[in-house]
Structure 1
Amino acid sequence: MSAVHEPPRGPVSVSVVVPVFNEEEALPVLAGRLRPVLDRGGEPYEVLAVDDGSTDRTPRVLEELRRAWPQLRVVTLRRNSGHQAALTAGLHRSLGSYVISMDADLQDPPELVPQMLALARADGLDVVYGIRKDRSADTGFKRRTAAAYYWLMRRLAGSHVPAQAGDFRLLSRPVVETLKTLPEQQRIYRLLIPWLGFPEGRITYQRGERAAGATKYPLHKMVLLALDSITSFSAVPLRLATAIGASSLVVCLAFLVWALVAHARGSTLPGWTSLIITVLFFGAVQLFCVGMLGEYVARIYTAVQGRPTYHVARDTEDERR
């Protein structure tokens, strides 16, 4: 493959970070819509496509796009590390004064990028969220589960978490540098960034249809995202386990009183049904509480190991330099 000759690059005003995993069909469409928007802005920019261990033609398509698009920068991870890890790699390596993150499926319209920049500069904001006011393009199941997720997160993590705000957002350089100093292993940016408390603004938009391909967030990944979000930003499950344990103790004492009364009246007959129900009930409670503790212990174990969440195999910016 021939080398891509790029002109010398000066300071970058805007970085657009796009995590990519098996998006060979969507990438040409993304380039066709995103590049004109950024070119019309008239300021130096870069687009960081973070290839999260794609197994299709995504790497080849990215190289083909780079030949005609000098501002396209490709960061390749050694293996599939997950959407949030790929987003972290892009944020950490970005150079722009403002960094905008978005997905490659074009459900979040790149035409809103100038509006985000204008709002941040006019009002001196460090964060601008893209809020999905209309998700009619999503399936009913997706809309209901997303609504349940944000409802739960706003009650566990706090009302400062914006509802219906995914990973389509603008960050200033101070926010990015602050994120780089945090030691967290499992980052959920839709909860972490509001927690920082930087001045923020919001723009609303209608979520569009996927440009091509299939969703990269099936049900099991949505469940894992919810679990990581809960255990990373709230100790409520541990308190819930304590409350369930206390309630179980009360129920156990009630059974004890009932048994003593029955014994005093001479009506203690063998009862298989009551015995098996009691054993199953308390066994389920114990397993639930141990499971909750295990989730938190697993995260402590991951943090103690201190392993990086991703490894970069290649960055075309390093080659250019």
Structure 2
Amino acid sequence: MESVLPRTTTLSVVIPMFNETAVIPALVARLRPVLDALGVDYEVVAVDDGSRDDTVSVLFDHGRDWPQLRVLRLRRNSGHQAALTAGLHRAVGQWVVSLDADLQDPPETIAEMLRVAREDGVDVVYGVRADRSTDTVFKRNTARGYYWAMRRLVGVDLPAQAGDFRLLSRDVIEVLRRLPERAPVYRLLVPSLGFPSAEVRYDREARAAGETKYPLRRMVALAWESTANFSAAPLRLATWLGMSSFLLCLALILFGMFAHVSGTTIPGWTSMFVAVLLLSGVQLVCLGLLGEYVGRIYATVQNRPAFHIGFDSRDEVPDAQPVARGDDAARTPSFDSAVGVRG
């Protein structure tokens, strides 16, 4: 059995999803008219990142009358960037757009991105958020701080307020596929490649439904991944902490020698206590930073995949049926009818 989708297409839209049942109907209602109006052949690669709700079943329901909708399911939750990687690697379009499911980045901008890429002859078109008033003050300020820090630590020509909403040419996709990055951060990785690029500005909208998948914990993790993947600054920080500790200890030694020569009595336990705390703290910080990088080297040497694909509706029908919703398991449509696969 083969999919009705062609093996190559003009445009692919990759959408990572995790527990997005509530937003899928609104996403389909806005995205499909935009893509149909482009007048090009396309596919929509919806990557389910191990959702625990009805995301896959709802996608299958919409795939019944939308043959361009392709469902790619990961076996477990691997994270947004890993799901995005799976979609980019599996997409077959000559142009590939990455889009979040929450509709904060308007799908209508895709037409402008494709037009700019063709007319200007560029390989990358970034979606740049001109207005983020729908975001909270905390989110706007942390985003501004992230881009400011990345420009100084990483040094890449990072477009301001450009997230993961972008259009990439097939040449860029093939380069990304060959890179040995285990945990890529695309908002830094893509600019570092140096491909000709342009920008399309848009107003960021409020989330259409559901809850954000990027709370503070995930934003901090993204900032750390960005720093550790693209910069040795934390290691240099460890070096500077070590040098500062050494200079401070040297000053304390000179002070102790002067006090000894002058006959001043200094309580020994206080100086010993301070010195041990200082040196121990600096050493632990340095060891922790070094351990982070050693752990990354270990993970790279292991060469374990960042994600495992459970099935792809483009491929042959898997043995197992997709997860059904609640008590409707016995009445769940077959994989063929759900995703438009024919014999």
Q: TM-score category by the smaller chain?
A: over 0.9
Residue pairs, 1:201-280, within 5 angstroms: 201-270=198-267, 272-280=269-277
Q: Does 1:38 align with 2:30?
A: no
Residue deviations 1:239-298, cap 9 Å, x none? Answer: 121111111111000000001111112212315444433322222211111111111111
Q: Indicate the SS of the match to 2:111.
A: helix
Q: Indicate the SS of the match to 2:9.
A: coil
**Structure 2 residue aligned with 1:298, among 295, 317, 335?**
295
**Structure 1 residue aligned with 2:134, among 117, 130, 137?**
137
Q: Does 1:126 align with 2:120?
A: no
Separation of aligned partners in 2, 1:280 and 1:134: 48
Separation of aligned partners in 2, 1:57 and 1:176: 30
**What amino acid is the match of 1:36?**
P
Q: Indicate the SS of the match to 1:110.
A: coil
Q: Indicate the SS of the match to 1:108.
A: coil
> Root-mean-square deviation (CA), in Å?
1.6
Moved over 6 A (4+): none
Say if 1:8 and 1:31 are closer, same or farther in 2 by CA, change over 3 A: closer
Residue deviations 1:186-213, cap 9 Å, x none? Answer: 1000011111110000011111100111
Q: Does 1:191 align with 2:188?
A: yes
Separation of aligned partners in 2, 1:67 and 1:166: 31
Q: Where do 5+ consecutive residues of structure 2 fail to align?
A: 317-340
Separation of aligned partners in 2, 1:138 and 1:145: 11
Conserved 8 A contact 1:109-1:208: yes
1:81 corresponds to which residue? 78
Q: Relative contact order, CA 8 A, sep 6+: which one is greater? A: 2
Separation of aligned partners in 2, 1:9 and 1:189: 27
Q: Deviation at 1:90?
A: 0.3
Residue pairs, 1:48-197, within 5 angstroms: 48-197=45-194
Q: Where do 5+ consecutive residues of structure 1 fail to align?
A: none
Q: Indicate the SS of the match to 1:283.
A: helix
Give aligned-pair identity as a percent. Answer: 59
Q: Deviation at 1:10?
A: 6.4
| TM-score in terms of structure 1 length | 0.96
Q: Indicate the SS of the match to 1:70.
A: coil
| TM-score in terms of structure 2 length | 0.90
Count of residue pairs the alignment pairs up: 318
